[in-house]
């Protein structure tokens, strides 16, 4: 690794990698490579302390038991994560990872676990799971197009009054209150799987720009084709569901 390499940390992939979230790390590294910047993907396994020397920290999704184990490890390395963030590191937290960067998560059996407290958010288990394609209208300040993903979670996340969501839900469930995710200082949390970054290259580039600065253009014809196909499918399904619910409401 050269001194100019970007260090992409995949945190606890054996616990927080249920939904192909390694694809987020691969996407970030490849988009840097195509622009002439070297990158290294560093697996931080659950038996290791999380270093404070990484440039990006990726936390993915996992089942309840894995999330409990991951929460314990994250709390043990909390000081290192906070030092990294103070130094300018970027964090992407998806699904279980998103829940764990908040203050607290309360599972369905009412067992509660403390998170890292990086953002003002709390999560409780809902009565049912939110499963299916999801589309977001991102917060206008981010300058992003519509985002698409796939959600599969039971959590309902409440953000603090001074915290911004990643975006408003157009199709799907998200946090459970009309928005999805969270945006903090060099931090994005979301329920979008897919994985989220191959499906949304503009979001990948936003995260990278927080690390390396302005990025030049690259050929995105293939990821754009995937993005449009997934958006079209989700929006059609969302319109169909809206029409069916409208008919039921009218009797």
Annotated catalytic residue, options 103, 153, 193, 228 = 193
Q: Looking up tokens 């990698």, which residue turns up?
A: 17
Query: In the numeric block, which tokens belong to residue 182?
Result: 């969270």
Q: How many CA atoms lie within 13 A of 212 on its CB side?
A: 22
- The span from the CA of 100 to the CA of 103, in Å, is 7
Query: In the numeric block, which tokens belong to residue 47?
Result: 């038996």
- The span from the CA of 6 to the CA of 213, in Å, is 12
Q: 113: which residues sit within 8 A by CB, 6+ positions away? A: 67, 68, 71, 100, 104, 105, 107
Q: Looking up tokens 């001194």, which residue turns up?
A: 3
Question: Taking the chain, what is the end-to-end CA distance rounded to the nearest angstrom?
Answer: 65
- The span from the CA of 202 to the CA of 93, in Å, is 17
| CB-CB contact of 131 with 146 (8 Å) | no
- Helices 221-250 and 201-212, axial angle in degrees (round to 10): 120
Residue 95 bears catalytic tag: yes
Give the catalytic positions in this structure.
Answer: 95, 193
């Amino acid at each position: 690794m050269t001194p100019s390499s970007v260090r992409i940390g995949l945190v606890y992939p054996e616990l927080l990698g249920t939904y192909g979230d390694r694809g987020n790390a691969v996407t970030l590294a490849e988009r840097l490579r195509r622009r002439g910047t070297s990158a290294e993907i560093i697996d931080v396994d659950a038996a290791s302390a999380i270093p404070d020397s990484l440039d990006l920290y990726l936390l993915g999704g996992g089942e309840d038991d894995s999330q409990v184990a991951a929460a314990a490890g994250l709390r043990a390395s909390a000081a290192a994560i906070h030092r990294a963030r103070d130094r300018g590191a970027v964090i992407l937290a998806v699904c279980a990872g998103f829940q764990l960067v908040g203050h607290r998560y309360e599972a369905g059996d009412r067992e509660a676990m403390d998170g890292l407290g990086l953002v003002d958010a709390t999560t409780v288990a809902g009565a049912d799971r939110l499963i299916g394609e999801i589309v977001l209208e991102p917060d206008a300040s981010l300058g992003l197009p519509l985002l698409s993903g796939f959600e599969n979670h039971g959590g309902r996340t409440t953000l603090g009054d001074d915290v911004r969501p990643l975006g408003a839900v157009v199709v799907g469930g998200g946090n459970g209150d009309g928005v999805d995710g969270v945006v903090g200082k060099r931090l994005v949390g979301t329920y979008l799987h897919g994985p989220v970054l191959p499906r949304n290259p503009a979001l990948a580039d936003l995260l990278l720009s927080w690390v390396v600065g302005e990025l030049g253009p690259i050929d995105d014809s293939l990821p754009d084709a995937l993005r449009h196909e997934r958006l079209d499918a989700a929006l059609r399904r969302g319109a169909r569901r809206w029409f069916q619910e409208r008919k039921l409401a009218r009797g």
